[in-house]
Homo-oligomer: A and B are copies of this chain.
Amino acid sequence: MSEILTSREQDYAQWYNDLVLKGGLADYSAVRGCMVIKPHGYALWENMQAQLDKMFKETGHQNAYFPLFIPKGYLSKEAAHVDGFAKECAVVTHYRLKNDPNGSGVIVDPDAKLEEELIVRPTSETIIWSTYKNWVQSYRDLPLLINQWANVVRWEMRTRLFLRTAEFLWQEGHTAHATKDEAVAETRQMLDVYAKFAEEYMALPVIRGVKTANERFAGAEDTYCIEALMQDGKALQAGTSHFLGQNFAKAFDVTFTDKDNKIDHVWATSWGVSTRLVGALVMAHSDDDGLVLPPKLAPLQVVIVPIYNKDAAAREKIDNTATVIKKELEAKGIRVKYDNDDNTRPGWKFAEYELRGIPVRIALGARDMENKQAEVARRDTKEKKAYSLDGLTENIAQLLEDIQNNMFAKALDYRNEHITKADNWDDFVKILDEKGGFVAAHWDGTGETEDKIKEMTKATIRCIPLDNEQEEGKCILTGNPSGQRVLFARAY
């Protein structure tokens, strides 16, 4: 099977693209920068959604839905926001087509020009805060704890499947609070939700941190993030949670009367993760034979493949056994498929399910029947082992847990080995070029230095970790004094 994918060593970027396409996750579309999410990829996203949605609801949030379109003028109401976002976006200028009088096709009807253009939402702060204005009068109306699952569009010039596409799917939480403390606590809570989801479900270790001013969300006072490491040593921002202060409340004039009858602007947060997480999942765990998916999110957790010979009685026995195993696994809530399709051979199936990342494969042949056992292969380590049919279901359930834990442990080891301290410029550049990963280095705290380092090395400050060790040092570039190390990396 390995020949169908470019290997990671050969060309990591090509390996990723091959894998997304051939693993059945996504496809290119006829629309520049937009992708088609195929059933296997969408099922992964659905499993992510289901778990995140549960966690959002457990923390008191409700879902709602706001318009796809944003009046152009809204974008410029929050000054920092327009600078960060308004540039590259899809603009709706007309609302009608008509038959081409000079041909057979259709043309835009010049009589159907909108008075004010509409922007396809790149994010929804403005349209949501213009709505919150009508929903909030008193402290009794607060907090508003609302999330939206939606598509958004940012007109990216260079796109990559899942990681950076013009349209993508995401969730965006938008909350409104009576006090700054409450809003900050919400921002941090949602960062923790994201970190827990990444680590416990995606098996993806993340560093929780805060962004520098340069890297902050347009309109935020503080942007918190979770940062993960991919197998090529590049970092990937896996989720962000923003404390927005009173910026959007001021821009849209959202005020409330507090308990003491004083009027104040409302405090805000927003937070989001997107289909980018599917790309992160692929990059963090997969290998040259295909996808490696964590059992908790894998659309299929177990596949049973029969190894038939010509003996009809043996065949029937295999069928019956497989059917029983399938039922028992399903009764345990395990997602399982019995693939008894006669048109493809076991070897082809093995390779196909490896490519698709199914965590556990059970093969059943005539000899297995005689020995009352099954051949069980785990996708993460590719280890194969005979399991007794006695207690098989319990052991498979345990194996799925082991795989989940092993994938996290492996990714954590790799990540921890790739946080390297650098104390001078040469080491800094060398680590970035040769080893990759995060480089923990002192920085003088200025945006100018940050920009310069980015220009010279393409590395950005991924975050200042929460609970960062305070330590005197000198900026890696300027030598100016610094009170702590920050994490640099090249990133997706």
Q: Which residues of A contact B (CB under 8 A)?
A: 27, 29-31, 34-39, 42-43, 46, 62-76, 82, 86-98, 104-106, 108, 117-120, 127, 130-131, 134-135, 140, 146, 150-151, 153, 155, 167, 169, 343
13 A–B pairs (Cβ distance < 8 Å), ordered by A: A30-B67, A31-B71, A31-B127, A39-B63, A39-B146, A42-B62, A68-B153, A69-B167, A72-B108, A86-B106, A90-B94, A93-B94, A93-B108
Residues of B within 8 A of A127 (CB): 29-31
B104 touches A76 (CB 8 A): yes
**Nearest 3 CB-CB pairs, A to B?**
A34-B67, A39-B62, A37-B65
| Alpha-carbon gap, A27 to B66, bound state (A) | 10
Residues of B within 8 A of A42 (CB): 62-65
CB distance from A157 to the nearest CB of B (A): 10
Minimal Cβ-Cβ distance residue in B for A68: B167
Residues of B within 8 A of A151 (CB): 68, 150-151
Residues of B within 8 A of A69 (CB): 31, 34, 90, 167
A71 touches B30 (CB 8 A): yes
Q: Of B87, B96, B104, B134, which contacts A97 at CB under 8 A?
A: B87
Minimal Cβ-Cβ distance residue in B for A153: B68
B66 touches A90 (CB 8 A): no
Q: Of B64, B90, B97, B155, which contacts A86 at CB under 8 A?
A: B97
Q: Of B30, B74, B91, B150, which contacts A95 at CB under 8 A?
A: B91
| Alpha-carbon gap, A275 to B29, bound state (A) | 27
| Alpha-carbon gap, A118 to B89, bound state (A) | 13
The answer to whether A36 and B64 touch (CB under 8 A), given A87-B96, A93-B108, is: yes
| Alpha-carbon gap, A435 to B231, bound state (A) | 71
Residues of B within 8 A of A31 (CB): 67, 69-71, 118, 127
Residues of B within 8 A of A118 (CB): 31, 90
Minimal Cβ-Cβ distance residue in B for A98: B87
B117 touches A120 (CB 8 A): no
CB distance from A407 to the nearest CB of B (A): 25
A67 touches B29 (CB 8 A): yes
CB distance from A263 to the nearest CB of B (A): 20
CB distance from A145 to the nearest CB of B (A): 9
B96 touches A93 (CB 8 A): no
A46 touches B34 (CB 8 A): no
Residues of B within 8 A of A76 (CB): 104-106
Q: Of B66, B71, B104, B120, which contacts A92 at CB under 8 A?
A: B120
Minimal Cβ-Cβ distance residue in B for A344: B140
Residues of B within 8 A of A64 (CB): 36-39, 42
Residues of B within 8 A of A74 (CB): 30
B97 touches A91 (CB 8 A): yes
Residues of B within 8 A of A34 (CB): 67-69
A65 touches B90 (CB 8 A): no
Q: A30-B74, A36-B64, A37-B65 are in contact. List 10 more A-B contacts (CB 8 A).
A: A27-B135, A29-B127, A30-B130, A34-B67, A37-B64, A43-B63, A68-B120, A68-B153, A89-B96, A96-B155
| Alpha-carbon gap, A36 to B150, bound state (A) | 13
| Alpha-carbon gap, A117 to B94, bound state (A) | 10
CB distance from A112 to the nearest CB of B (A): 8
Minimal Cβ-Cβ distance residue in B for A82: B106
| Alpha-carbon gap, A67 to B343, bound state (A) | 33
B91 touches A90 (CB 8 A): no
Residues of B within 8 A of A153 (CB): 68
Q: Of B29, B87, B95, B169, which contacts A89 at CB under 8 A?
A: B95
CB distance from A287 to the nearest CB of B (A): 25
B106 touches A65 (CB 8 A): no
B43 touches A106 (CB 8 A): no
Minimal Cβ-Cβ distance residue in B for A46: B63
Residues of B within 8 A of A92 (CB): 90-93, 120
CB distance from A227 to the nearest CB of B (A): 27
| Alpha-carbon gap, A135 to B31, bound state (A) | 17
Interface hub of A38, A73, A75 (most chain B Cβ within 10 A)? A38
CB distance from A349 to the nearest CB of B (A): 14
| Alpha-carbon gap, A430 to B155, bound state (A) | 57
